[in-house]
Amino acid sequence: MSRSTGAPTPDSALVSTPQGPREASAIDQTANAHLDRLLTLNPSWAIELNAPTHGWGYPDFGPEGLEAEQDALRTTLRDLDQAQPTDDVDRVTAHALRERIGVATALYQNGWGGARINGISSPVQKIREAFDNLPKNTDDDWHVVLSQLAEVPGAVTSLISGVRHRQEHGPVTARPQLLNAAQQAENYASVDGAFMGLTHRPHVVQMPETMRRQLHSTVDAARRAYTGLAQELRAIAQAAPEGMSVGRHEYALRLQEHSGAQLDLEESYRWGAQQLRAVTEQMRLTASEILPEHAGDDHIRAAMDALDADPHRQLHGRHELISWMQGVSEHAIQSLADTHFEIPEPMQHLEARIAPTTDGGIYYTPPSEDFQRPGRMWWSVPAGTEVFRTWGERTTVYHEGVPGHHLQFATAIAAAQTLNRWRRIALWVPGHGEGWALYAERLMDDLGFLQDPGDRMGMLNAQRMRAARVVFDIGFHCDLPIPTELDPLLGQAAGARRWSPEVGWAFLKDNIVMGDASLRFEWMRYMGWPGQAPVYQLGQRVWEQQRDLWRAATAGQFSLREFHRHALSLGSPGLDTLAYALDLARPA
């Protein structure tokens, strides 16, 4: 069986310091040992990172697994205290390690360690997602799939035990989130769900009969486990609290967990409201370009309806969607390579794919270290959706692909001569990463790729969504009053002075244009994953601030390409570490 060892090939060593390759320092060794410990504890993450030498299976989702993770973090801190930095690369690595371990430790010490159940990024989804990027082209590939499938029932048992423990000791999952996840688990286990989908892959018909029978057996066992998981989550939900807000104290730590920065909650909330009003005004101006003769308060909605009705902006069926996404992606890569970005050939391979689920999310998975597995954009298409509008999705391709997540991940992965393995493949802070992807969307407008007013409306609509969730996420979880100036944007909840799920639904429905099923997915996401959604736009804000600081420091010598090259070659640390690293490198 052929397996990747994770060792970079010469072609993947695409980014280096001016002095040439670095020798691994004590801090590099500490960071890499830290990664090895975490991958050993979580083999499914190793699969996601294409580092399967750590074996197959899943983490222990119970209290013992959480304590083992804390032991690993304490070991890393002890090792870090004994290592001295040799250069700025080491200083940034140490800063990033201490920031990540610090916030994880604070959450654990407050009784908030471990994952709540939610509808997008909790073990309910992660157990199933382990199969998305596993190769499925040869019998050897399928031996790996079968090995991982055999681990699913045990992982589900561990998860149920962990959920029950957390319901007693914290962090507690609210009833609506448990019921929502139970429905997802049931969908995964259904006859047309993701597990059964494994038996419909092209290579299955070529398998030896004994292997095919084993596949059917392990898929059936995984489906039974997930059916049982759905039943258990519903049973646990009966005694769970209804309220989903976590309160100011926990929220501040969650926002730091997702942003890598200690942000002022009230200031961020006010700024989000200002951004929402500002982008809404930009949308009104763009609507005037699309429908210059229209008058009335519904100008934005009317312009979007006109864009939706335009047959030249429609894609029919999943095949057309994937072909269009691939074409937009390849055009962006060809246009941006060697102009505003460095995009060597191995980084230019990016695939558009339909996800094996129907939850409605759109996401990206990075390439393997040797770039043999390319980066991939995944679209989870809701059941029954057959028509897609290009005007609203071009900016999504830029977000997930180039110059968004793909360029970001691939640049870090390629920096084998400069960065240790932890920083290249494993360090990921949403405030940095998602902030970059939103920065990339705006940048494509600045660079002239969104001259069409419909495409620009799509970008602005995406920015409006991100601003709206800064407001709702912080306001809801911290119980902040709703400013009166937001009344025109509250929809049917106009006049409300405090956030609730119902007020949030009305607000989001008036400021996020998507179908009810997808909008419900977003709404539940914000209430069940506190502090994650706001860091997209809060991170974009920091990226733009750092670019402006770099421009000011370089005066007339400013190079956008050089700023991008240096910033992306840092990996994906938290926002405070990003600022620290750029301050070290910024020209005097």
Gap between the Cα atoms of 73 and 249, Å rounded: 23
Q: Give the pLDDT of residue 20.
A: 60
Gap between the Cα atoms of 512 and 520, Å rounded: 11
Q: Give the pLDDT of residue 424.
A: 95
Gap between the Cα atoms of 510 and 115, Å rounded: 31
Gap between the Cα atoms of 472 and 465, Å rounded: 11
Mark 279-305 as b/e (b = at least 16 C-beta within 10 Å).
Answer: bbeebeebbbebbeeeeeeebbebbbe
Gap between the Cα atoms of 476 and 468, Å rounded: 12
Three-state secondary structure string covering 150-206: CCHHHHHHHHHHHHHHHHHHCCCCCHHHHHHHHHHHHHHHCCCCHHHHHHHCHHHHH
State the helix-helix crossing angle for 26-41 and 63-81, rounded to 10 degrees. 170
**pTM reported for the whole predicted model:** 0.91
For residue 522, what are its two tokens? 């977003």
Q: Give the pLDDT of residue 52.
A: 62
Per-residue pLDDT of the chain (588 residues), as tens digits, is 222 333 333 333 333 333 467 899 999 999 999 999 999 999 999 888 877 676 789 999 999 999 999 999 999 999 999 999 999 999 999 999 999 999 999 999 999 998 899 999 999 999 999 998 788 999 999 999 999 999 999 999 999 999 999 999 999 999 999 999 999 999 999 999 999 999 999 999 999 999 999 999 999 999 999 999 999 999 999 999 999 999 999 999 999 999 999 999 999 999 999 999 999 999 999 999 999 998 777 899 999 999 999 999 999 999 999 999 999 999 999 999 988 899 999 999 999 999 888 777 788 999 988 898 899 999 988 888 899 999 999 999 999 999 999 999 999 999 999 999 999 999 999 999 999 999 999 999 999 999 999 999 999 999 999 999 999 999 999 999 999 999 999 989 999 999 999 999 999 999 998 888 889 999 999 999 999 999 999 999 999 999 999 999 988 889 999 999 999 999 999 999 999 999 998 876
Q: Give the pLDDT of residue 116.
A: 94
Q: Give the pLDDT of residue 298.
A: 87
Nearest to 543 by CA among 432, 401, 445, 430: 432
Amino acid identity of residue 39, one-letter, is L
Q: Give the pLDDT of residue 49.
A: 83
- Strand 375-379 with 387-389, pairing: unpaired
Q: Give the pLDDT of residue 517.
A: 85
Please identify which residue in the block is written with the tokens 């179908």. Answer: 515
Q: Give the pLDDT of residue 586.
A: 80
Amino acid identity of residue 455, one-letter, is D
Whole-angstrom Cα Rg for the chain: 23
Vertex 170 angle, CA 169 and 173, to 5°: 125
User: Quick one: which H or E segment has residue 227?
Assistant: helix 209-237
CB–CB of 375/397 below 8 Å? no
What one-character-per-residue DSSP string does 292-347 give? Answer: TT--STTHHHHHHHHHHH-GGGEEEHHHHHHHHHHHHHHHHHHHHBTTTB---GGG
Please identify which residue in the block is written with the tokens 């309910």. Answer: 124
- Which sequence spans correspond to the domains of the chain? 10-249, 255-535
